[in-house]
Chain A
Amino acid sequence: MIGRYRALRKAGLLGINERNVRLVNELNPRRLIRLVDDKRETKRLANAANIPTPELYGVIANPFHMRHLESYLDKPDGVVIKPANGSQGNGIQVLMEPMRGGWRRSNGQRALLEDIRFHVNNILSGMYSLSGQPDVAMFEYRVKFDEIFNPISFGGVPDIRIIVVRGIPAVAMVRLPTAESDGKANLHKGGVGVGLDLVTGKTLSGMQNGKTTDIHPDTANPLRNFSVPHWDTMLEMASKAYDVTGLGYLGADIVLDKTKGPLLLELNARPGLAIQIANRIGIRPLLKATLEADTEGLDALGRVELARKLYRSHVPEPI
């Protein structure tokens, strides 16, 4: 046990205690965390800073608004319903397109208007919000994701998570849905996390359910060597997210739309640590360097430049 402890420390592993004490508590004041817990607020901030996000069709904040439900759902390309204060991807329902008598869900099943109304009611009653507080349902543009990840995903939307420290992107991964995760890209639901080389945006090795893997469990295709398109834009978006929120430690979740390019889905003030398994590195030394780096006078682009330099000095170029 002690040997394992030393080995993990030597590998530079960042633990949850240290994340909480040195990153979340030190860099993320509580009043700022509130900004990203509410997705409407995040969207407003991002749009003000020209960070693209999925278009918001409408909001249902109380049962009185429910009469707008059908007009919000009336989109030929489908719609995504999500709770404004949800966490971990809970309560999100994706409607692909209208079909006879209802809407087609992402898993192919039909959702009736009654089912959708029940779901929205559940959101309003706070079932998916962080502390059971009454919540608000958001209706958004359904992302038509780029086909680049088709060989290594199974249903649902892959997304890219970039961890940004003091505005400097530090480490990234792409999260791929699997059959087990039911089309969701969340790692704890069984999604696959694949590390990304921060300089080039190329995929490295992956992990699922805490174990490393090099192939996608459903398609069996190797995970390595996919290049994420628009990588520079994504890094810049993530870095800008720091400017608009002020959060010193944040995780930016970005999706890649076929026509609209990268869109910021949400920001997370307490991003998890599984990204270390996906990248097969301990990020402590890199974060230490990032915490100490001089960012005086740098804008988002400058910080991205700095990020690449810092990253390469800790992680060698993959062969």
Chain B
Amino acid sequence: MLLAAAKQKTVNSFTHTRLLALVLAAIGLGIFATKVLQHDYPLTPGLQTTTWDFEIYLDFDTSNQPVRLETFVPSNSENRRVSQEQFYNGAFGLRLNGRNDEGRTAIWTYRYPNDRKVLRYRARLLGETVESPLPDDMRRKLRRAAPEAENDLERQAFLVWSTDLRRRSADDESLADLVLEEIFVDGDVDEVDALLSPALPRPIARLALARDVLTSQGIPARVANGVFLDSARRRAEIRHWLEYHADGVDRRYFPGPDPQEFFTIWHGTKDFIRAEGISDLDLQVSIQPVNAAVADVVQRVAKDEGSAMQWFSFNRLPITTQLVYQVLVTIPVGILMLVFLRQFIGLQTLGTFMPVLIGIAFRETALVNGVILFTALIALGLAVRFYLEKLKLLLVPRLATVVVFIVICMAVIAQIMNNSGQRIGLSISLFPMVILTMTIERMSIAWEEYSATEAIKQGIGSLMVAAASYLVMTNTHVEYLMFNFPELLLVIMAICLLMGKYTGLRLSELIRFRELDTRK
């Protein structure tokens, strides 16, 4: 009886699993097929066009005082286009001021606000490149004139310095090169330091000085501000550069490497945002390339009121949220990879999903740097752990000491990298930090409970799984498919279910039990 019941149960759980997997896969693939066949969703990322989604997100505290918040917003010109603008104002009044010399501004006002408020501006941008021409009013020759200065002393210094530069140059072009070299490349030239405006942040002050020198020598120049359109960013930096016209040629000078594509938002040295009556402002500027083909389909489907595809699409979420989901939906693919490597290959790892978390952390450090940094820091952490072993500390305080040591190591690495001009140390942020300390804890527990070889084996296994899952998770096709066809998550779930009932041998067991292979 008992046996019959047990057998029945076994059969049931296997068929049950298969049935569930079948249903899930059928639903997932069904939606997928409908989208591809009926709505012509493209299956591959295709060409990325030059359009970008752009968003300004403002989040701030108010305290029952009138609020006035003015920010520059993108505007049209011969070279660049803004379309599909949307303002999310809440209760705020909005006024657009397009008659500034510097650029177009949006002014949000509200008399009696309280609590935290959010304002959002969204638009689609078509960017410029280094070859884009400057407007005509930048092309006329100016008369040489000394600039206004704070006092006579500064005015004198400016004149001496600019006359010296002029003497050392042959024409406008070489003069401009010389000016930029003295200000940006040669580092701290005393004359330059003295002339920088103390009211402005350093990088902008340098640009402003370059502009003043050039215009005083009759070369039209202005400071431009905007964003670089290079890759999807949740917090894009506002960049500053110089535009000038020398010897009949339009030029732009970017401190740092030249961008492929960028978008000028405003000119001059004013702040991006001027605000009154608020505190604790969180400004987030995000950009994301638009996949034209998908965008087309989404728009077409959206018009089709009855479509079931309409209510579930990441494309309609705010950009910042979209970017989070773009990462999130690839995690199951990484996990699928992990399950495969564990159940079929038999790689041993520290913790269950730790390797996938390490893989996600690699996003912020890139693969090779990540592997090197992780290995180095884990080795350091373990070294300290073994030293502390001699002191016979209790478990938790000992682990805590290791964690503190790792934080110190990371701080030191960040300093060294920064001083030598490299960026990899800086890309370690909070998330990899947490993963790293957890890995060290796991590793030392494995070391303690099993053996050194076991811990190292598991460590290497984890690193391999992490690298593999990182590679699948960051694959453009995988990212594209998962983001635009989230129904594939059901298929992944089905595959996981089926793998959960795999009773065959693992690859590692073929080696472990080789002695039982009696073939001659």
Contacts and interface: CB of A to CB of B under 8 A. Distances in A.
B343 A294 contact: no
A122 B13 CA distance: 42
A312 interface: no
B1 A296 contact: yes
B450 A188 contact: yes
A182 B510 CA distance: 29
B400 to A, nearest CB: 12
A292 B3 contact: yes
Given A13-B509, A17-B506, A26-B6, A211 B515 contact: yes
B516 A13 contact: yes
A296 B13 CA distance: 24
A275 B445 CA distance: 26
Q: Which of A9, A17, A210, A291 has the most CB of B within 10 A?
A: A17
Nearest to A27: B6
Contacts of B153: none
A276 B13 CA distance: 27
B35 to A, nearest CB: 35
Contact of A7 (B1, B346, B394, B519): B519
A128 interface: yes
Contacts of B514: 4
Contact of B505 (A15, A132, A293): A15
A8 interface: yes
Q: Which of B13, B514, B516 has the most CB of A within 10 A?
A: B516
Contacts of A70: none
Nearest to A125: B395
Contact of A127 (B6, B448, B510, B512): B448
Interface string B497-517: 000111111110110111111
B517 A88 contact: no
Interface residues of B, number: 38
Interface string A114-128: 000010011001111
A32 B395 CA distance: 29
A291 B11 CA distance: 14
B505 A5 contact: yes
A11 B503 contact: no
In the complex, which range does the number of interface residues on chain A fall in? Answer: 35 or more
A282 B516 contact: yes
Contact of B519 (A3, A21, A189, A276): A3
B34 interface: no
A26 B449 CA distance: 28
Contacts of B2: 295-296
A224 interface: no
B451 A189 contact: yes
Interface string A93-132: 0000000000000000000000000100110011110001
Contacts of B501: 21
B10 interface: yes
A27 B5 CA distance: 12
Interface in A30-78: none
B445 A4 contact: no
A11 B346 CA distance: 20
B477 interface: no
Contacts of B513: 8, 13, 276-277
A22 B505 contact: no
Contacts of B396: 125
A11 B1 contact: no
A8 B449 contact: no
Nearest to B9: A26
A212 B516 CA distance: 9
Contacts of B449: 87-88, 90, 128
Contact of A22 (B451, B503, B507, B510): B503
B518 interface: yes
Given A18-B503, A212-B515, A126 B395 contact: yes
Interface string B257-294: 00000000000000000000000000000000000000
Given A127-B448, A292-B3, A17 B503 contact: yes
A136 to B, nearest CB: 15
Interface in B352-406: 392, 394-396
A17 B504 contact: yes
A22 B395 CA distance: 37
A21 B13 CA distance: 10
A88 B2 CA distance: 32
Contacts of A319: none
Nearest to B507: A1
A282 B517 CA distance: 10
Given A4-B514, A15-B503, A277-B516, A22 B10 contact: yes
A4 B394 contact: no
Contacts of B507: 1
B9 A210 contact: no
B503 A125 contact: no
Nearest to A26: B10
A107 to B, nearest CB: 17
A7 B451 contact: no
A315 interface: no
A18 B448 contact: no
A13 B505 contact: yes
Interface string B5-40: 011011001000000000000000000000000000
Contacts of A126: 395
A16 B509 contact: yes
A15 B509 contact: yes
A280 interface: yes
B13 to A, nearest CB: 8
Contacts of A122: 394-395
A127 B448 CA distance: 8
B460 to A, nearest CB: 17
Nearest to A118: B392
A8 B517 contact: yes
A266 B13 CA distance: 31
Contacts of B392: 118
A127 B395 contact: yes
Contacts of A8: 505, 509-510, 513, 516-517
Nearest to B392: A118
B516 A280 contact: yes
A3 B518 CA distance: 11
A1 B451 contact: no
B517 A4 contact: yes
Nearest to B13: A26
Given A118-B392, A122-B395, A126-B395, A15 B515 contact: no
Given A292-B3, A296-B2, A7 B10 contact: no
A186 to B, nearest CB: 10
Contacts of A15: 503-506, 509
Given A18-B503, A296-B1, A4 B450 contact: no
A283 to B, nearest CB: 10
Interface in B339-353: 343, 346
Given A87-B449, A282-B516, 5 more contacts: A13-B516, A17-B504, A26-B6, A189-B451, A277-B516
24 contacts: A1-B507, A4-B510, A5-B505, A7-B517, A7-B518, A7-B519, A8-B509, A16-B346, A17-B504, A26-B6, A26-B9, A122-B395, A126-B395, A128-B448, A189-B451, A210-B512, A211-B515, A280-B516, A282-B516, A291-B3, A291-B6, A294-B3, A295-B2, A296-B2
The 9 closest A-B CB pairs, nearest first, are: A18-B503, A15-B505, A125-B395, A7-B517, A127-B395, A4-B510, A7-B519, A212-B515, A11-B516
